[in-house]
Structure 1
Amino acid sequence: MAEDYINTTISTAKGNISSEQGSMSRNEFLARFEMATLSVILFFALFGNSVVIIVLKCCQQKLSRMQLFIIHLSIADIFVGLMQVLPQLIWKITEHFIGNNFLCKTIKYLQIVTMYASSYVLVMTAIDRYVSICYPLTSQTWTSKRVHVMITIAWTLSILFALPQLQIFSYEKGNTGVYDCLDNFYGDDGNLRMQIYITWTFLAVYLIPLLILAYLYSRICYVVWISVNSREDTTKRNAKSRRLGDKDSFSTENGSFTKIPRAHSRGLSKSKIKTIKLTLTVVLCFLICWAPFFFLMMISSFDLSINYYTSSVTAIVTLLSALNSCTNPWIYLAFSGRFCSSRKRASSKTSFTVNSYVDTETRLRACTEQMALAMKPIKEDDGRILTDSRVDET
């Protein structure tokens, strides 16, 4: 694989070629451009995601499930910045790894852990949105504790799936005589082992989460589409009823009208629609930023003779994948104003609805008591009539 991929996650697919590339003089203009870009990405990844966490923690009395997921997505992006972007930047400055075997294995391990975590936290967020939209009654039983359990599962899977990194990488002397953090994909079966591992990484980090996300959001979009159509049909029926003079009330015997409380079947709330758009935008950004990276990784590992991995192409691909760690805060910022206002409207509507239900329940209880009092003389009269009839029969 390409030289820059050594400095990111897995390493070159061709151990001897990477050493040869390391001995060649690098493009200084391209290297400086990468260092400048990585520095900017690192700053915005750390600053932007830290601001998101601080704002949500300090400005919200009680965090919603979606806001908790946003915090954990920001935490994952911060780890991406520290464990992927920062080591890649240092590698560009020093041109080779500076450290020992323990540091080499630790950095390589944490690099792949953050990749898994970013992907799996997105999947958990999509699962939460799927349950919230498609199974709203079940969603009501989900608490913040459930969110923490889902996030723990995501990080646990990431930690376990990244364990092969500890065996693959070590701090050893390359063909040029310089010590570096290198993989062990050499020998007669080196290419085969490399292809198996890279294919597994592609499936576990990108393709399988992509298929899960595609299914979940297709179901969500279908439910939203059904809800919108249902709301439009309801609006048309209500307009027709108003033209015909039909009211949302029923008449009692004394001629008064009692209004029927409107149900919550008008469709999805605007706040839920906003959260769907937010998470879908984050997912699309993740898929777009990482797609070229995994495409280049698969191409360069299975076709060793093809020269797709030039330094300029590799630089663009690795920078694009690193860019994902600093884009999410701006997505949150773009949706934050409308999202917060939607939440305020939703909370005010909820309090109004609760009060309406309390008032309605009180009125119904009063009506029931009045009906019971009215029926009591009738029951007593029925008892007298029944007694008189029995006396007559005897």
Structure 2
Amino acid sequence: MSYDSNTSLSSPPSLSSSMETPDDTRDEYLARWEIAVLTIIFLVTLIGNTLILFALYARRRYQRRKFTRMYFFILHLSIADLLTGLLDVLPQLAWDITFRFQGGAVLCKLVKFGQPFGVYLSSYVLTVTAMDRYYAICHPFLYCSITSRRSKMMVYGAWTLAAILCVPQVFIFSYQEISPGVWECWATFYLKYGERAYVTWYSIMQFLLPFIVLVYTYTKICIAIWTSSKMSGVVDLKKNNKANFSQRNREPLISKAMMNTVRQTIIVITLYIATSFPFIGSMLWATWDPKAFTLPFFTGAAFTILSLLNSLTSCVNPWIYFAFNKELRGALTNFFYRKKDSLNYDIDARQNVSDVASTTSSFISRISRLANSKIFG
């Protein structure tokens, strides 16, 4: 006996229990709100992450700046966020516009494989970034021995793991007739507790496991920064104004640039937790509580809109990078100003050539008129 659900494990239109008989009607007012929210998320995600990638390109191509490990992580996190918009938000937007899935059997499996891919990848790249920052700050001597090749292998491992974890979607979802004359990309679980097991597994691998690593690493990082501040005399100077000269002039072990990077990443992670936890918590509640769909929260608009915000992190991350990173802002600004200055230079050059040509022409005209007056006058 099969157990059906339309759980997308990404940004589902709704979570329906197997006891519910699907029909071919919907709340059009709510659907318009869903389309509006998804459109805004998609556009902001696309524009923001495209600008980040362009800024990274301009920084390396025109400013000849070294491509450090941190920028390598930002590159892959921006790509993951961009893939979330293209493979998750955009198909969901098209799905909401058409109401029922119109792509057929093959596209159903492809869409369901791609929807959680960007979300998985973003979580694991954040985790790898946190581990890299942890070793850089808490174990600097060990970090020096870690080559950039190893950091790249960790990121590529995140890509591989994200792809592997998306494979079950291909077998769970299929294009099937859910009611007479109504076809949908639908999930089928052949075991009674199959949906609960799968949703729980997804929650652990996509959120809980990265959450544990992020909390551990950044707690250690904050402790290391606090310890370094005390050693450099920053805290001691606030408590005692009679600190000696050497204490006043001691350099902090943690640079300002590194602390700025840590603050930036902590905000990204905080946002990731704030946007992921409500979705994960609601999905677990809906799956494990048989009476969940009798509650107004799950039958109303709140849960439907909440389920669309799982990708909100991907559209906010790039603006956080721009807010904290002067180099990215500078690379983007310098590129556009350089283009503007180049355009102005070309216009001025053409104007100068035109002025020289017109001056020469008027001079020749005067000489010609003078010669004519002498010859024929």
The TM tier, using the shorter chain, reads 0.7 to 0.9
| Matches of 2:119 and 2:113, distance apart in 1 | 10
| Aligned counterpart, 1:255 | none
Deviation for aligned residue 1:309: 1.5
Deviates more, 1:267-276 or 1:59-68: 59-68
* CA separation of 1:159 and 1:232: change in aligned 2, threshold 3 A: same
* Residues 1:278 and 2:264 aligned together: yes
Per the alignment, residue 346 of structure 2 pairs with: none
One-letter identity of the residue aligned with 2:225: V
- Give the distance between the partners of 1:134 and 1:247, measured in 2 at CA: 22
Spell out the pairing of 1:167-246 with structure 2 (5 A cutoff). 167-185=171-189, 189-190=191-192, 192-232=193-233, 240-242=243-245
Shift of 1:7: 7.5
Match of 2:47 in 1: 47
2-structure distance, mates of 1:223, 1:12: 43
Aligned to 2:33: 33
- Counterpart CA distance in 2 for 1:66 and 1:181 is 39
Residues 208-241 of structure 1 deviation map (CA, whole Å, 9 limit, x = unaligned):
1111111111100110111111112797599654
Distance 1:177 1:13 in 2: 19
Deviations, residues 263-291 of structure 1 (Å, cap 9, x unaligned): 8x632100000000011111111110111
Q: Deviations over 1:159-217 (max 9, x none)?
A: 1122111110111111243121101136xx33x01101111111111111111111111
- How far did 1:338 drift? 8.0
- Give 1:82 shift: 0.8
TM superposition shift of 1:143: 4.2
Q: What value does the CA root-mean-square deviation take over the aligned residues?
A: 2.8
1:300 is aligned, of 286, 306, 312, to 286
- Secondary structure, aligned partner of 2:184: strand
Asked which structure has the greater CA Rg, the reply is 1
* Counterpart among 2, 5, 14 of residue 17 in structure 2: 14
Q: Against the structure 1 CA distance between its residues 11 and 116, is the aligned structure 2 distance closer, same or farther, given a 3 Å change threshold?
A: farther
For the residue of structure 2 that corresponds to 1:184, the secondary structure is strand
Question: CA separation of 1:119/1:340 partners in 2, compared to 1, >3 Å: closer, same or farther?
Answer: same
CA apart distance, 1:150: 1.2
Note if contact 1:4-1:315 (Cα within 8 Å) is conserved in structure 2: no
- Residue type of the alignment partner of 1:49: N
1:165 lines up with 2:161 in the alignment:
no
2:160 and 2:168 map into 1 onto residues whose CA distance is 15
> Are 2:308 and 1:322 aligned?
no
* Match 2:127 to one of 123, 127, 130: 123
Change (3 A) 1:277 1:64: same
Give the direction of change, closer, same or farther, for the CA distance of 1:59–1:222 in structure 2 (3 Å limit): same
Say whether the 8 Å CA contact 1:14–1:185 is kept in structure 2: no
TM normalised by structure 2 equals: 0.77
Higher relative contact order (CA 8 A, sep 6+): 2
Name the CA distance, whole Å, in 2 between partners of 1:212 and 1:85.
27
Aligned residues: 318
Which SS does the other structure have where 2:115 is aligned?
A: helix
Matches within 5 A, 1:244-263: none
Structure 1, unaligned runs of 5 or more: 249-261, 342-394
1:310 pairs, out of 290, 299, 306, with 299
Q: Structure 1 residues 296 and 247 mapped into 2: Cα distance closer, same or farther (>3 Å)?
A: closer
Q: Secondary structure at the match of 2:252?
A: coil
Residue type at the aligned position of 1:134: C
